[in-house]
Chains A and B, each alone.
Chain A
Amino acid sequence: MAYAFLLDMSRCIGCEACVVACKSGNQLPVDRQYIKLIEHTSGTFPDLTGGFQNHRCYHCADATCVAVCPTGALFKEDGLTRLNRDACSGCGYCVQSCPYEVPVMSDGRSSKCDACASNVGAGGSPWCVTTCPAQALKYGDRDEILAEAKERVVALKDRYPKAQVYGETQAGGLGLILVLPDDPETLDIPADPPATPVVVDAWKEVVQPLSMGATVLAAAGAGVLGIIARRNHMAELREVDDKKKAGVTAGDSDTEEV
């Protein structure tokens, strides 16, 4: 079953309660946080409009970070993108390849939201969802979350004609469904993030397994052939040796005949 977050940006008041709850709930050290609120304003004073970008992992189904991760520290589970920091080698490929620029390096390893895997696994809810005072956040079955997002958008259309659901199809379908009052670009969110390049999959799914297979086959073949070939060569050496001994010490009865 796939789970997802609902993040209703028409309700987000930018209070940062989710940031705090995430940080304290996950016991993150000072330099780490999984959610960042970025304020966007446009227009010229006094005609200013603005909103908040609740920047956090989008949990892409087609997650480029998972595709490039060499150690499997990043992986998909229940429709969400998890991170096992113990397995992270700190190569930083995920930092570079995320279309949303979410993962960062912290203490030599990747750092990003893992949808409160341990808390949810123990029957709880993600910390950000538990604490949101504006009902902007929800967590549950992705189909239900998506349906609710669509309902909320319908209700918003009167006031925000450009209101829309974001995340149904982006990056293969996100595990973070956004309700946006305006176009995603107004909050610096790419309308259509680039898909995982084919060459990334080719690298991990074709080149590497084939290389491993070819090496193992070659080593095994060389092992078998090596035993045969060495036997041949030894026979050849004995022949030469015999000839030499026969030449040098002709008639020597001690010469061992092979």
Chain B
Amino acid sequence: MTDTNGDQQILRYRSRQRIVHAVMASSFLILLITGLALVWGPLAFLAAGGWSRYLHRIAAVGFMSVPFLYLILDRSGAKEVLGESFKYDRDDVSWFRYMYRYALGRTAEMPPQGRLNAGQKLHHSAVIVFSAVIVISGLVLWFLKADLSPTMLAWTAIIHDLAMLVLTLLLVGHVFFTYVYTAWSSMATGYVSKDDMEMEHSKWVEELEHEGAEGPSA
């Protein structure tokens, strides 16, 4: 497949993966805004009467459903992302050493990367770990609130707040790299420029060519 400039395009994310991403992204943003209503004074009006608390719970159910949704819609994709996100090779380790270059938009001297670069792996694993923390602390605040002393309530809320801080900072980084590397299309259409991938994920492109295909079939 080629785009209007004649650049070759390859499929990076199947439509079902993009659906999972959309569910996660939209539920996360709703959770962020309705959560901020209880943290930031100017947004407190959203919480008046409690409707933001109900919306928060509805979005929480959506957020918690993400791993199951991924397994149902795309079992192999879910397994792949789990397997790859916690496995680092030598190139990944040296990628971290030159990470500042990547953050500055320079890929030229970066070690060759597979389907996920080392930063994406770290991002994924951090999202998984802190999502687990925020889900567990959130469920405690939801169902066990009445059994908490003021001290335990504050501790649970601190854990919940700090996990959200980490996830929000990860989101900032996520949006940052999406913008710098014009990666929006990977989640919008699923296709990305092959030239880009040769610069940023050369080992993956080699792998695809080795398989004798331009990408997994949608």
Where the two chains meet, the residues of A that have a C-beta atom closer than 8 Å to any C-beta of B are 64, 68, 70-73, 86-93, 96-97, 108-109, 196-197, 199-200, 202-203, 207-208, 211-212, 214-215, 218-219, 222, 225-226, 228-234, 236-237, 240-241, 244
Contact = CB atoms under 8 A, between A and B. Distances in A.
B153 interface: yes
B108 interface: yes
Contacts, number: 138
The B contact surface, by secondary structure, is helix
A232 B105 contact: yes
A91 B50 CA distance: 7
B154 A199 contact: yes
| Closest 9 pairs between A and B when the two form their complex, measured CB to CB | A232-B105, A233-B105, A229-B105, A89-B47, A70-B38, A90-B50, A97-B150, A71-B44, A211-B165
Contact of A236 (B50, B172, B199): B199
Interface stretch (B81-89, B156-164, B206-214): B156-164
Nearest to A84: B48
Contacts of B181: 233
Contact of A70 (B47, B155, B158): B47
A207 B39 CA distance: 10
B158 A218 contact: no
23 contacts: A68-B154, A71-B38, A87-B44, A88-B48, A89-B49, A93-B145, A96-B146, A199-B151, A202-B158, A203-B157, A208-B161, A211-B162, A211-B164, A212-B40, A215-B168, A225-B104, A226-B176, A226-B180, A229-B103, A229-B105, A236-B105, A236-B108, A236-B199
A216 to B, nearest CB: 10
Nearest to A67: B150
Contacts of B41: 72
Nearest to A219: B172
A56 to B, nearest CB: 21
Contacts of A108: 49-50
Contact of A197 (B48, B107, B150, B182): B150
Interface of B: 37-41, 44-45, 47-50, 52-53, 103-108, 145-146, 148-151, 153-155, 157-158, 161-162, 164-165, 168-169, 172-173, 175-176, 179-182, 195-196, 199
B107 A230 contact: no
Given A90-B50, A225-B103, 13 more contacts: A68-B154, A70-B47, A92-B145, A96-B145, A200-B154, A203-B154, A203-B158, A211-B39, A211-B164, A215-B165, A228-B105, A229-B105, A233-B182
Contact of A222 (B148, B157, B164, B173): B173
A91 B157 CA distance: 13
Nearest to B174: A222
B104 A232 contact: yes
B172 A222 contact: yes
Q: Which of B145, B154, B196 has the most CB of A within 10 A?
A: B154
Nearest to A204: B154
Contacts of A226: 176, 179-180
Contacts of A199: 151, 154-155, 158
